[in-house]
Amino acid sequence: MKIGMTYDLRHEYLAAGYSEEETVEFDRLETIEAIETTLRHLGYTTERIGHVRYLAARLVEGGRWDLVFNIAEGLSGFGREAQVPALLDAFGIPYTFSDPLVLSLALHKGMTKHVVRDLGVPTPDFAVVQTESDIDLVRLPLPLFAKPVAEGTSKGISATSKIRTHEELRTVCCYLLRLYRQPVLVETFLPGREFTVGIVGTGNQARALGVMEVVLLDDAEPGVYSYSNKALYETRVQYRLVHGALATRAMDVALHAWCGLGCRDGGRVDLRCDTNETPSFLEVNPLPGLHPEHSDLPILCRLLGISHTELLAMIMESARQRLSGSTSTALPRLEVAAPCPKTPVAIAQEG
C-alpha cells in the first residue's frame, strides 16, 4: 500500500522569513522521519509530499497514492487545516484524520462550541469578540478566559489570559485582536483540573485511550497551560494519568464531542473541571501532534504503555476500516476504552 505524506516543515517556513511563533504548529523533520520509519515498519511504502502547494504540483503531474497520511496544518485562514483534505477529495484520494468540514469547524473554537453545546456536551459559557466594539457586549460573570479563536499549541495564551476585571478584558481582547488579526474567544473561567483525552477510531468504533492531567509545577507561568509552559513543559509541567469515576466522566464528555463533531481516526479532546469536578469541553484537536517525545497524544500514550508504533498502527487501522466500510473493530482492547454511543446523547452536568 503506497502512502503519501503531507505536512508542513517548520524549518522551511523559518527560512522563508516567518517567525518562531508563526511556525510553532509546524513539524520538525524528526517528526516526519519518525512517522515514515513507523509506517515502513508497519509494512507500508511511503512517499514524502510536503505542504499543500507541493501536493497541488504533484497532483497536476499525475501523482497518486493509495492513502495520504495527512498532518499538514496550513498557514493562514480558518480553512488552513482543511486545504490538503479538500484537494485530496477533489482528486478522489483517501487520507487519514478528519475531513475539510470537521477541520474547518474545529479550528474555529467559537463555532465548535456552538455545535458542541447543541449536542448537549457541557462547555463553559462563551462569547466571540470580533471587534473592539464587541467587548462591551460581553455579559459573562468574572473571572473569564480569553484566547485567539483559531490558534493551536496554546498560541496567544499566557497568564494574562485569565481575566479578573472588565478593564483587563478590554486590554487583553484589544491586544489579541491586533496581534492575531482574528476574533477572540472569551469563556467563563473554570478553576478545576485540566485534562486531555486521547481518542482513536471513528464513529461507533471510536475509543478513549485514557485521560491525562496537566499539572503546572512551581516554575510554570501560573494558572494556565500557556504557550511558554507548553514550550518548556519538561521543567514546568507534569503529566499524570487520571483513573476512576472522574476519568470515566471525562472520557464520556470527550467521546460525545468527538463523535458528534464527526472526528476521525485519532486526536485529542481538552477538558477542564469546575469546582464540582464536572469536566467540560474546551476544544478538540482532530489533527494531533505526533512527535514521539514532545506531543501531548504520544505523551499520554507513553504513560499508558502504548508505543508510538502502536499509536500509528491504530490510526492507520481506523482509516483502513472506514475506507473499507468494515464494521468490525481491530482496535486493541484497552482496559479504559469506552465506545461512542450510536446516537448523540445529552450529557447531564453533575452537581
User: What per-residue confidence (pLDDT) applies to 349?
Assistant: 30
Q: How far apart are CA 84 and CA 67, in angstroms?
A: 13
User: What per-residue confidence (pLDDT) applies to 345?
Assistant: 31
User: What per-residue confidence (pLDDT) applies to 118?
Assistant: 97
Cell of 216: 503546572
User: Within 10 Å of residue 165's Cβ, how many Cβ atoms?
Assistant: 11
User: What per-residue confidence (pLDDT) applies to 341?
Assistant: 45
pTM score, two decimals?
A: 0.90
User: What per-residue confidence (pLDDT) applies to 327?
Assistant: 37
User: What per-residue confidence (pLDDT) applies to 154?
Assistant: 86
User: What per-residue confidence (pLDDT) applies to 138?
Assistant: 97
What is the tens place of the pLDDT at every residue in 256-314? Answer: 999 999 999 999 999 999 999 999 999 999 999 999 999 999 999 999 999 999 999 99
Tell the residue number behind the cell numbers 471587534, with chain if given: 131
User: What per-residue confidence (pLDDT) applies to 339?
Assistant: 45
Strands 266-273 and 194-200, bridge-based pairing: antiparallel
User: What per-residue confidence (pLDDT) applies to 316?
Assistant: 98
Residue ranges for the chain with pLDDT beneath 70: 326-351
Q: Which domains does the chain have, with CATH numbers?
A: 2-95 (3.40.50), 98-123+190-351 (3.30.470.20), 125-188 (3.30.1490.20)
Tell the residue number behind the cell numbers 513543559, with chain if given: 233
Report which residue type is found at 91. Answer: F
User: What per-residue confidence (pLDDT) applies to 326?
Assistant: 55
